Amino acid sequence: MEGNRDESERCINIALRHLRSGDPEKALRFLEKSEKLFPSSHAKEIIAQIQGGKRKMSDEGDSTRASEADTDSNGTTPGAHGTEGKARQRHRKKSDQSADHKEGDRYTPQELEAVKRIRKCKDYYEILGINKDCSEDELKKSYRKLALKFHPDKNHAPGATEAFKAIGNAFAVLSDPEKRRRYDQFGSEADRAPSGPSHRHGHHGFYEYDYSRGFEGDISAEELFNMFFGGGFPQTHVRRRRNQQGTNFQRHTADSSDSNYTFLLQLSPLLFMIGLSLLSSFLVSDPVFSLNRAGKYVHERTTLNLKVHYYVKQDFSSEYQGSMRLLEQKIEDEYLSTLRSKCFSERSYKENTMWRARNFGDGKLYEKAQNMKTPACDNLQKIYGG
């Protein structure tokens, strides 16, 4: 259970992000998942707040309906009430049509079709328009192109914001090797959910959907966009009317200066780490041994106690003047530490897969998880169990 603590905290963070975006239902779903992984008082408090808010809204709705009923019983005839209701409906319909007409003037039919295409995509690869065996460069190139095309500052078509989030989340998952491996292996968790469809009817006749599809990146679509383009939307890609060209030129100059400065700030830690690495390569001597055969470490040796294989340089016998007993003890300690770390990862992955299979009622996945091998744990058992 303790091994699920990190995954539980990640679910809480995702739930808080959904709360900030105004989606308490999805937030509640991730909080319940967090409680199943590793119960905590933090998750319980947030769940209580969400449920308390729902009860309050329900009580307010009941009070409103009771007030309307009292008004009808105090002299307002049903006919008059119905006439007023129809007038309000006609007014709202005209207002909605006017708003849709104004919004329609801000996007092209091609932009609307592009948004519809994204929303119909079945998986992340189709969203980004790439193959499963694409390279990292192809993945980044596709994301840059689509992110600029669907950014809400440029594309005002209905559903463009959700499409932009879907593109960002697809890249965030596929650019992470571990998340991509899990996605390729299990597909969309949302597709296997036993509950009803996750689509909800939304504005403009579109259907809102869970763009994360059960897999959520560790960074939002807007944050990812800012990382790629140095903060803010590149003004050179945004269309403007001719009477705004002078103002846009001044804004673009200021934004370019800010973007360059932001880019340098973001790059400075990387430059510092590169410089530090180069400096350490001159100051730090090579290690005496390696647990893996690589580079200069080609001569294989074995410890006396645990029979751990390790590798040294060709000149080890003549150059090393220290205690072999202490060296072999250090080698075995490092070997055991590596085994423990791998064993923890193997068990956590196996337990999470079994939990996911039970949660979605997937018998085949549960059987597959039960049969998963844990070689590092087996090696530890042999060492400590004799």
Is 297 in contact with 311 (CB distance < 8 Å)? yes
**Cα–Cα distance between 290 and 312 in angstroms, integer?**
7
> Which ranges in 220-244 belong to alpha helices (H)?
221-229
Q: Which residue has the higher pLDDT, 159 or 264?
A: 159
Q: What is the DSSP string of 88-133?
A: HHHHHHHHHHHHHHHHHTTS-HHHHHHHHHHHH--SHHHHHT--TT
pLDDT at 370: 92
pLDDT at 332: 92
Cα end-to-end span (Å), the chain: 27
- The helix-helix angle for 136-150 and 160-174 (nearest 10°) equals 170
Question: What average pLDDT does the structure give for the chain?
Answer: 75
pLDDT at 250: 54
Of the candidates 239, 223, 235, 224, the residue with the CA atom closest to the CA atom of residue 259: 235
Is 365 in contact with 357 (CB distance < 8 Å)? yes
**Cα–Cα distance between 50 and 31 in angstroms, integer?**
10
Query: Any idea what the Cα angle at residue 24 is, between residues 22 and 30, rounded to 5°?
Result: 125
Of the candidates 252, 230, 240, 253, the residue with the CA atom closest to the CA atom of residue 154: 240
pLDDT grade for 63, boundaries at 50, 70 and 90: low
pLDDT at residue 192 is higher than 70: no
- The helix-helix angle for 109-120 and 136-150 (nearest 10°) equals 130
pLDDT at residue 331 is higher than 60: yes
Type of residue numbered 328: E
pLDDT at residue 379 is higher than 50: yes
Is 199 in contact with 209 (CB distance < 8 Å)? yes
253-301 residue pLDDT tens: 555 566 666 777 777 888 888 887 777 666 667 788 999 998 889 999 9
Can you list the positions of beta strands (E) in the chain?
200-201, 207-208, 299-302, 309-312
pLDDT at residue 150 is higher than 80: yes
**Cα–Cα distance between 292 and 309 in angstroms, integer?**
9
Count the Cβ atoms, other than its own, within 10 Å of residue 321: 5
pLDDT at 220: 65
